[in-house]
Amino acid sequence: MTDQATVECARTEHASASEQLPYAALLAFAMTGFIAVLTETLPAGLLTQIGAGLQVSEVWTGQLVTLYALGSIMAAIPLTVATRGWRRRRVLMMTVCGFLLFNTVTTFSSHFGLTLVSRFLAGMSAGLAWGILAGYARGLVSPRLQGRALAIAMLGTPVALSLGTPAGTWLGNLIGWRASFGIMSALALLLAAWIMVAVPDRPGQPDTERLPLAKVFSIKGVRPVLFVVLTWMLGHNILYTYIDPFLTHAGLGERVDLVLLVFGVSSLVGIWIIGLLVDRWLRRLLLISLAVFAVTALVLAVLASTPWVIYACMAVWGLSFGGSATLLLTAAADSAGENVDVVQAMLTTSWNVAIAGGGLFGGLLLDRMGAMSFPWALLILSLVAFATVFVNRHYSFRPGRRSH
């Protein structure tokens, strides 16, 4: 097929984007995200079990989470760039088969080094998945439905964080950590069949439309979105990563599970609200979310010794944070145009850097200034993110109804 024919084929397929939401396909994307997040977080609740099984300390066992995140950071951009000309379903199947293979290796491995390698490679699969899901979901629908499609496609992340991780920990304690990873492999196998049946294929990006990586990064509007990702997610992860010592200082150390449940449920409500409104009020919703985030941080900083205030703040925090992925992915995709997959990979990398940074800087703050310094850090970072959205109204965070 000539380059011209390839371009015409791609244009034809893009023009056929649905005027209705393809729920079966979008929920398959959500399931992909669910498996990616749960694969990452499952070891955190089973450190003692896994350490005993592999005969290593809990400190070393914790590196199973670190290696997964590192694999995602290192793979997201290069693998997305390398595969952006491939058919989309083929790439998605590669990521799901990666989860199937590497979770199976983790299930049966008795050697810690092999388990670390499998976790790193599983993280690479996740990095590629995050790089293509948003663009794939948007490509299946017309522009007026892209925000809602993205909200559904990204639903797996908060579900995994709020419900999947606690359930996985409970199940691991009940049937053992190896069986838990085996179940993850079984879910990936079922998802692969689901994708083949329910997810329409899409073309990759033709050679003539691909910009070099540096030029994609220089697209007007892309860098402000990535900066907001870094600042907002860094603030969130400083507190979320160290929520246990913060709540212990506030006298709620025995109720961490309940506090996180409140956060998780309100996050799901936030996703539902944002999914309904994102195509009309993207900029306004971002500003409101960040403003509420900042006010919540201020209240936590001043009144953290009052239990009902903490519960209320966690509910509001989850509500304002739940739709953040949908808002930021939509803003990034609007700025990226035809280079959406590469920009989404950049966003994934920024997101994972913020997660790692939350652990690093949160640890430094805890060691030097104590847990009560977290809300102040969150306040400063959320105000910086708010200011970035506020001043970038022409390319990154445009006002009014989305038109593309």
pTM score, two decimals? Answer: 0.72
pLDDT band at 81 (very low <50, low <70, confident <90, very high): confident
Judge whether residue 148 has pLDDT over 50.
Answer: yes
The whole-angstrom separation of Cα 141 and Cα 95 is: 22
Judge whether residue 135 has pLDDT over 90.
Answer: no
**Measured at the alpha carbon of residue 362, what is the angle toward residues 357 and 367, in degrees to the nearest 5?**
135
Instruction: Identify any residues that bridge with 141 across adjacent strands, giving them in sequence order.
Output: 18
In angstroms, the Cα distances linking 154 to 60, 71, 130, 327 are 31, 20, 10, 11
pLDDT score for 2: 45
Q: Looking at per-residue confidence, does 61 or 270 come out higher?
A: 270
Cβ-based neighbours of 93, under 8 Å, separated by 6 or more: 192, 195, 196
pLDDT band at 14 (very low <50, low <70, confident <90, very high): very low
pLDDT score for 76: 82
The whole-angstrom separation of Cα 374 and Cα 239 is: 6
Contact 31, 154 (CB under 8 A): no
Query: Of 67-71, 164-168, 262-266, where does mean pLDDT reach its minimum?
Result: 164-168
Judge whether residue 160 has pLDDT over 90.
Answer: no
pLDDT band at 385 (very low <50, low <70, confident <90, very high): very high
The whole-angstrom separation of Cα 229 and Cα 332 is: 10
Contact 154, 325 (CB under 8 A): yes
Closest CA to 154 of 298, 322, 363: 322
Q: How much is the average pLDDT of 46-62? A: 78
Judge whether residue 274 has pLDDT over 70.
Answer: yes
The whole-angstrom separation of Cα 46 and Cα 175 is: 12
Percent of the chain clearing pLDDT 90 (strictly above): 29
pLDDT score for 24: 94
Q: How much is the average pLDDT of 75-88? A: 85
Q: What is the pLDDT of residues 302-336, one digit of tens each?
A: 887 788 888 899 899 888 888 888 888 888 877 76
Contact 96, 192 (CB under 8 A): yes
Give the SS3 label for residue 19: coil
pLDDT score for 338: 67
pLDDT score for 12: 44
Q: What is the pLDDT of residues 334-347, one digit of tens each?
A: 776 666 667 777 88
Q: Token pair 């992909």 is at which residue?
A: 32
How does the average pLDDT of the chain come out, rounded?
82
Q: What is the pLDDT of residues 31-47, one digit of tens each?
A: 999 999 888 878 766 76
Cβ-based neighbours of 79, under 8 Å, separated by 6 or more: 124, 127, 128, 131, 345
For the chain, list the domains and their CATH numbers.
3-209 (1.20.1250.20), 213-391 (1.20.1250.20)
pLDDT score for 28: 96
pLDDT band at 211 (very low <50, low <70, confident <90, very high): low
Q: Which two tokens stand for residue 166?
A: 């606690």
